Structure 1
Amino acid sequence: MTTAVREAPHHRNLTCYTDYSCRLPECKERYNAYRRDRRRAENEGTWQPFIDAKPVREHLLKLQAAGIGAHRVASLSGLPYQTVREFLHHSYGNRRSRRSRTTPETANKILAISAETTLPGFTSATATRRRIQALVATGWPMARLAPHLGVTPKHVWKITEQRYVYHHTARAVEDAYNRLRNKRPEKRGIARREANIARRRAAANHWPAPKYWDEYADLIGDPDFEPEYKKLRAEILAEEAAWLMTAGRLDREQAAVRLGVSLFTVDRALREHPQDGLQKAA
């Protein structure tokens, strides 16, 4: 009776040598290099074969949220799919729990993958989201924008909640924005009631209209720019005073001096527009 020799599934790491008795020259050299590095690190007191896997798992979850799944990570990192999957789930066919430790080499391969560089077909959704919201401000209901964007009504909502969108989606929204921004929805098949509901929704959320973005065209795609569109002066004053009193640790009188207004003005603004952060700090 002869025992079949198992063939290593790949020749990328030490398992082909240790588990499958592979003796290809390049695999033997990989194993010998590992032994030399280990011996040197042990002599120097820096040997750290395993590290906590939590940062790797958190990074994989972020990649997953951006649309990069375990199969794609395995392909990009050169790691077996099973290795990547075990950071997120229990192993197939047994009760072994998720990986709690891993080698620095494996961790570095996964942590080196980023959504920004891995998804060249994607771009930030900031400008796309703001263009859709601007059309809503002119009276276009989101669901009624779907035919102009070439997507389903449900997907229009999804676009506004994403951090990244495909380049072709961004272009489709920009094209529709340029076509519809000066068109009255009521003259394009949208009932007046629907259009007014859309406008009220945009006003309640302070979504700027296209004319606003004409003035700030270079900032429409900047996620760090916060438009203060149609906010009352008292509302803006309340936000600034609350920030000075929480982050700057100033009292009401000091905040009023910093803002160049009276204490009465600050108190009235805070009464009319109470701030959650200030209430929690108090």
Structure 2
Amino acid sequence: MSTRTPSMRAAHNHMQARRRRLKAIGQWEDPYVPAEPVRSHLRAINATGMSFRAIADRVGLPHDSSLQPLMWGRGKWGPAEKVKRETAELVLAYWPTLHDFQDDALIDVTGTQRRVQALAVRGWSRNEIARRIRMREDNFRKAISKDRVTAYLARQVAAVYDELWNQDPVDHGISRNAVARIRANAERSGWHGPLAWDDETLDEPAAVPVTDAVEPIASEGENLAARWLLGESVVLTSEARKEVVAHLFEWTNDTTEEIAEKVGMTPAAAEASWHRMKRQARLEGRRMWRRVYVPRERTLKQNEMEEAA
């Protein structure tokens, strides 16, 4: 015999009816999602040099009750096949920044190497970077050639990168011949400049450069995101690209793959950027969600949308 009270049964029936209506118009979201992509993301973060316990602390999840069953299972049960959508969004929206690590932590060198290479595309040498962080040139070259680098050194290189990425070395007294040699070597090596990288994903080993942007007629001025959305050929800065991604996810029914193709990102990078923006909005007391979702095989009637509300 059921132990549910009449009010509990009524609430259950209401939720089931609402679920059926939402499914009928393509608006239903399962509260649980596959766990493997979340596990893979956690393993990737762990590979940068951050412990699972530290990751749980950063995203605000209890280690024992959330990550333990997700990663390794508990008791006789193996790793979970499904995870709560909220937990998945928290984890997938997080990628450690350089400031999340202690000075002596050994972290993945990929982001540091990309910054050095991007500066080389602009004409800045490794020796000049070493000089600016007051490090011997040979020691600097050895340090960034390894698989891991200290978080302290990575932050020093990032600070130099933030200062010089849009500066011409010639304006700082570097000879034109030296700059030309460095740029030519960077081109032969197939390195990518600062505009090819999103600042938020530059340290992610799986991130890919944006290399297929159309050469713009105009690439300066304000409102780059709005101008891009109106069809003007402009190069998007990292901030403008985030505005565009947010607009496409929030106000169109484009798929993740279509959005990624439009802005020159991988689907995984576009999805992660959307999760990060939603998480930041929640921290600021705002809400972001996909406001427009229309199943492509049918047209919704107004009363169907009202019933699903």
Q: TM-score range by the shorter chain?
A: 0.3 to 0.5
TM-score with structure 2 setting the length: 0.35
Q: Which has the higher contact order (CA 8 A, sep 6+)?
A: 2
Larger Rg: 1
TM-score with structure 1 setting the length: 0.37
